[in-house]
Amino acid sequence: MSPLPVLFKKELLDVVRDRRTVLLTLVLPVLLYPGILTLMGAIISAGKDRLKNEPLVVAVTSGDAQAFLDGQPTPGRTSWLRVERPAAEQLLREQKVAAIVAAPEGSTRAVAEDRQATVTVLYTKRFDRSMEALERLRPVLEAVNARALTLRLEARQLDPSFATPVKLEASDLDFQKDLGPLIASRLLPVVLLMMLFIGALYPAVDLTAGEKERGTLETLLVAPVRPVQVMAAKYLTVALVSIASTLANLAAMAGTFGAGLSLAGEASTSMRFTWGQVGVMLACLLPAALLVSGVALAVASMARTFKEGQALMTPVLLVGLAPALVAQMPGIELNTATALIPLLNVALLVKAAVLGTATLADVLLTQASVLLCAGAALKWAASAFDSEVFRFGGAINTFQRRRA
Amino acid sequence: MHDIVRDFGPVRAVDGVSFEVRPGEVVGLLGPNGAGKTTTLRVLAGLLTPASGRAALNGVDVHRDPLAARRHLGFLTSSTGLYERLTGREVLITFGRLQGLTGAALLGRVEEVARELELAPFLEKRCGAMSSGQKQRISIGRAVVHDPLAYVLDEPTATLDPLASRDILALVQRARARGKAVLFSTHRMEEAEHLCTRLLFVRAGRIVARGSPEELRRESGQPTLTGAFLHFAGGQG
C-alpha cells in the first residue's frame, strides 16, 4: 500500500489545524475585500463631500481677471481675493488661497474687440483643495468664453454651431456609468495572484522549514517512505490550500463586486461575474496554484527554520507579483507571445476574463504554458527533497565548521 | 555497520566505523560533541549515504533497500519530533500505517503501546498541549509502534529531566528483555554504565575504544566511566 494517502492526511490535518494558515488563507480574504472596498468607497466619498463643502479662497491678480469672474455667478462656498501676482503665488504655496486667476491688463477690451485673451489659472496638484478650486473655476471660465462667443456670433448673425464645425463626443459604451469591470480588471489579477502566492507560501514554509525546526522531519524520514512521497504529500497539501485560498478570494471578490459599492455617489462598482468568466479564471488560476506550490515548496525546502523560510519567500512573492503589475501597463495584452509567459499570462487572462475578451485559445495556451512550468517546479521540488541538504539543512555546514 | 566512511566536504565525519549490535544487546555510543555519533546513527537509519562501507538492519542493506531496512528500525532522537497539532493517537496511527500496519492489527498495536507506556490519560490530547514527559512517551510510542527489531536512540535523554529520562531507560530495559538490539548515544555516563552491555568510544569519526564498562575502565586506568570517557575523549588512549 502506498504511504501517500497516509502522509497526505497527516499533512492536511497538520495544516488545517494551524490557525494562522486558516486565518491567512481562508478567513482573511472573505473579510478583506468587502472591508477594504467598503472602506475605500466611504473614504473617497467622505473626502469628495468634504472638499465640495469646503470654503475656498481664490486669488485674483488683476482688474481684468476680476471683471471676467464678476460677469458670472460665483461658485458656492468660493470667494475671490484681489491680490498682486507675487503675493498670490506665495499665498498659494502657503495654502492660504486654493488657486490664482490671472489675466493681463486689457484682456476684457481684447475680447470686446474680437481678439483673444488668455486667462491663466494657477493651481498645484500637491493640494486637493487646489484641484477642487480648479474644478470650480473651470465652468466659470468656460461660461465666460461661451458668453463672449455667443455675443460675437449674434453680432454676425451666425448659428452657434458655426464655431464648432466638428463636435467631439467620446462615449465609453461599457463603462460610462459602471466602473465595476474596469476596477475589477485592474484589481483582480494583482489580488488573486497575491493571494495565490500567500496561500501557497505560508503552508510551504510551515511544512518544510517549520517541520525541520520542530524536529519532525527526521522522524518522518526514518519511516519506510521515500523522500519523493513525502514531497508529493506536502505538494498536494500546499496546492490544495492555495487552491482553496484562491477560490475563497474569488468568491469574496465576486460577492463584493456583485453587491456593488458606491464611489462618491457618481460611479458604481457593481459587476456580476458570469459562470463563463469564473470558469476562465479558474482554468488559469488552478494550474497557477500548482506552479506556485511547486516553486514555494522547492524554495522553502532550502530553509532551516520557519523564519529563514519566510525570508526566502519575500523575493519569491515580489518576483511572483511582478507579472501582475506588468499586466497593468498600457499596451500589454494577451496574445500568442504573452500567453507563453508564466504568471503574466495568468494575470492577463484574468484581466481578459473580467473584460469579456478572453478566447478559448488564450485559455489553452496559458494552461499549457503554466502546466509545463508547474511540472518543472515539481521536478525541482522533488530533487530538493531528495537531497541531504533538505533533510538536515545547515546541520552539515555546522558540522563542517565545528570540525574544521 | 562495516567500515563506514562519511565525509562532509573536506571533513571526514565517520572514518572506518565498524560494529555489530546483536539481539538482546544494548550498545552505547559515547564521544564528545562533533565526534561523529549522530552521523553514524543517521547513516544506520539511511538518512545519510556513506562514501563507502555497508550498514544493515537485520541483514537488510540500509542503502540498497532503505524501505525494507527501516521496517526493522525504531529511531528516537533527542528532540521529541512530534506533530504538535496532531493528537497522540493520531501520531501513533499515522506512523503505524507508514510502517505498514492496518486495520485491527494497527489498532491492537496502538492499544498495546498505549498500555505499556501508560499513554491513556493524554492519548487524545494534541501533542502541543502535552508536558515534555508526555511528549517523550508519545515519541517512544511512535518509534516502537511497529515493534521493530532494532532500536536506535540518539541522545534520547539529553533534554529530559530525570523523571522523563526514566521512561527512556525503562524502554531500553524492556527492549533488551524482549531480545531487541539497542544502539544509543549518550553523554550520561551513569546511563551507559547502568544499561549497556558494550560501549563504543568515538573520537574524530573513529572508534578509539570498545568493550564492556568494566573493560574500558580497566583499559583507561580510570576508576570511573566518566574518567574513562575523559581519557579516551582527550586522546590519551
CATH numbers and ranges of domains, chain A: 4-43+177-398 (no CATH), 51-163 (3.40.1710.10)
What is the structure's pLDDT at A401? 47
**What angle, 0 to 180 degrees and rounded to 10, lies between the N-to-C axes of helices A360-385 and A275-300?**
20
Contact B34 A388 (CB under 8 A): no
Query: Using beta carbons and an 8 Å cutoff, which residues of B are at the interface with A?
Result: 8-11, 13, 33-34, 39, 42, 45-49, 66-68, 70-71, 73, 75, 77, 79-86, 90, 94-95, 97-100, 102, 126, 139, 142-143, 204
**How much is the CA Rg of chain B, to the nearest whole Å?**
18
Question: Which residues in B lie closer than 8 A to residue A222 (C-beta atoms)?
Answer: 45-47, 70, 73, 75
Q: Are B85 and B128 within 8 A, CB to CB?
A: yes
Contact A6 B83 (CB under 8 A): no
pLDDT band at A305 (very low <50, low <70, confident <90, very high): confident
Complex ipTM: 0.88
The residue of A222, A305, A388, A391 whose CB has the most chain B CBs within 10 angstroms, and thus the best one to mutate to test that interface, is: A222
Number of other CB atoms surrounding residue A117 within 10 Å: 20
Question: To which residue does cell 482573511 refer?
Answer: A28
Q: Read off the pLDDT of residues A255-273 as tens digits, 9 standing for 90 and up.
A: 777 666 555 445 555 567 7
A74 at interface of B, judged by CB pairs closer than 8 A: no
Contact A225 B98 (CB under 8 A): yes
- For the full predicted model, state whether its pTM sits above 0.90: no
Pairwise CA distance, residues A222 & B70, whole Å: 7
- DSSP result, A279-291: HHHHHHHHHHHHH
Q: Are A217 and A227 within 8 A, CB to CB?
A: no
Pairwise CA distance, residues A82 & A102, whole Å: 10
* A175 pLDDT more than 80: no
pLDDT band at A192 (very low <50, low <70, confident <90, very high): confident
- Residues lower than pLDDT 70 in chain B: 235-237
> By CB neighbour count within 10 A (0-12 exposed, 13-18 middle, 19+ buried), where does A65 fall?
buried
Shortest CA distance to B92 belongs to which of B76, B109, B104?
B109
Contact B11 A404 (CB under 8 A): yes
* A42 pLDDT more than 90: no
